[in-house]
Chains A and B, each alone.
Chain A
């Protein structure tokens, strides 16, 4: 399996952020998470992004796919608050699915956005017994309502997860099936 190749169309944005194209095929994220993707994604690369790989199809202000590979006990699931004004959210090894969801909820509502869980159920993920959740996120910044879905599993005290969110009206339905395929293809190496 190839490791994620990040060449091609690298676009440098303001503030040393870059987008790298992620092509179809088998990809690994971090050391232990592998996924298969159909169709290209853009991988945002910038300093201080936090522990997840951030992918997008439509552009970051529109849709986001977050891929977490092997988050360790005590590690934050996002970039630490710069001003120290926002609460930071960290993974703990003993967390149950509802607590992991609450952690992501905390992460996504740090800016005053509103999160509503619509479903949480057991689901295979990464070849293991994981969980899946669905949510609606109302962004404080611009009042846009996003649909979201996530999968997670804890393996050897490390968290593996995929989160996707996009505006409810057009973009979510456009990409939801692809994202579900990616989640189904995920393999966690034990």
Chain B
């Protein structure tokens, strides 16, 4: 690992890049999308520090509320981790795999290489143009997001990430699972929507190949911890909100694949089941209502279900003309969530359904 980086001179290309990233970081800190929960942020920062070693003081983790799989690290040390990524991680080792990979780009100064690479100059100029015009880069997360890393850089970052994981005591096999899981999710998309990609996917080609390579790297030195329990306990308080955001993406097939994996991955959890039930209900294809009822009912049986599980059941019963059941479920929803924004709407349904 190289030594810590000193702040580059202002007049240089690298200095310019840092200045731009500093501005973006200030903006990010003020953004309503920034998660200001210090507990969760410090926890992710700690994992980044375990990986980053001597670079730890230069790495600044920012958690961003956006329901997509993405993490980035800018040359100035600003690291962004999106909630959609955290929802998808099974354990600390998987998060460490993504963070380690990003730290790999950082310590190798890949962004600067790209900036100096003649071939990407045009892309960079376009990027700067867009930056000036729109006045924000929040969506693009980093410069690299705009003009991408090369495949060789990706391989480098993967290799470094695996080394950092191993040094920190994490099971490297989890790195390969991150990519395999993401591939499965994207592949479940209907053909017509395949072109669309997760931001990280677009800048990181060859996910299948990388999953394989990482699995080989892991096999060379098996073992290490996954940190599953610590991770699951830490994210539990945020999961409901992240799941609600995931449902809103409207990518029903992907959500079902994701939730099915999360449900299969551990002891049954009412919030995962209720979320998948809601996705089935909203997709409303043949047999989806049956699948939704099964999930909602399982969630209710487990206890600790979201109020929306009762609302979902009620809507389906109402549509199926099972009026007493619809009434009872609407009642339970209102009792569980008396402050919900749609309570007036639900009351009108109850009136329609009679006493």
Question: A-side interface residues toward B, CB under 8 Å?
Answer: 81, 83-87, 89, 92, 94, 96-99, 102, 105-106, 109, 111-112, 114-115, 117-122, 131, 134, 138, 140-143, 145
Contact = CB atoms under 8 A, between A and B. Distances in A.
A55 B348 CA distance: 32
Given A83-B195, A87-B196, A131-B345, 13 more contacts: A84-B193, A85-B197, A87-B250, A96-B315, A97-B345, A98-B315, A98-B342, A102-B250, A112-B66, A120-B341, A120-B344, A140-B139, A143-B31
A118 B27 CA distance: 27
Contacts of A94: 284
B267 interface: no
A87 B139 contact: no
Given A99-B282, A114-B33, A89 B250 contact: yes
22 contacts: A83-B195, A83-B196, A84-B192, A85-B197, A87-B249, A87-B251, A96-B315, A98-B342, A99-B282, A102-B248, A102-B282, A105-B248, A106-B248, A112-B66, A114-B32, A115-B248, A119-B342, A120-B344, A122-B345, A142-B135, A143-B30, A143-B32
3 nearest A-B residue pairs (beta carbon): A121-B344, A120-B342, A84-B195
A96 B249 CA distance: 19
B348 A140 contact: no
B138 interface: yes
Main secondary structure of the interface of B (DSSP, over half): loop
A112 B141 CA distance: 12
Contact of B138 (A86, A131, A143, A145): A143
Given A84-B196, A85-B197, A111-B139, A122 B344 contact: yes
B196 A86 contact: yes
A138 B341 contact: no
Contacts of B342: 98, 117, 119-121
A143 B29 CA distance: 11
A119 B341 contact: yes
Interface of B: 27, 30-33, 65-66, 68, 134-136, 138-139, 192-193, 195-197, 248-251, 282, 284, 315, 341-342, 344-345, 348
B306 to A, nearest CB: 15
Nearest to A135: B341
B155 to A, nearest CB: 26
Nearest to A120: B342
Contacts of B193: 84, 87
A56 B192 CA distance: 33
B134 A141 contact: yes
A96 to B, nearest CB: 7
A176 to B, nearest CB: 18
Nearest to B82: A112
Contacts of B68: 112
B82 to A, nearest CB: 10
B31 to A, nearest CB: 5
A133 B86 CA distance: 31
B134 A118 contact: no
Contacts of A109: 248-249
A134 B345 CA distance: 13
B64 to A, nearest CB: 10
Nearest to A86: B196
Most buried by B among A96, A106, A143: A143
Given A87-B250, A96-B315, A142 B136 contact: yes
Contact of A114 (B30, B65, B138, B139): B65
B345 A98 contact: yes
B314 to A, nearest CB: 11
A60 B46 CA distance: 44
A119 B251 contact: no
Nearest to B27: A143
Given A84-B193, A85-B197, A138 B33 contact: yes
Contacts of A98: 315, 342, 345
A140 B138 contact: yes
Most buried by B among A92, A142, A145: A142
Most buried by A among B138, B341, B348: B341
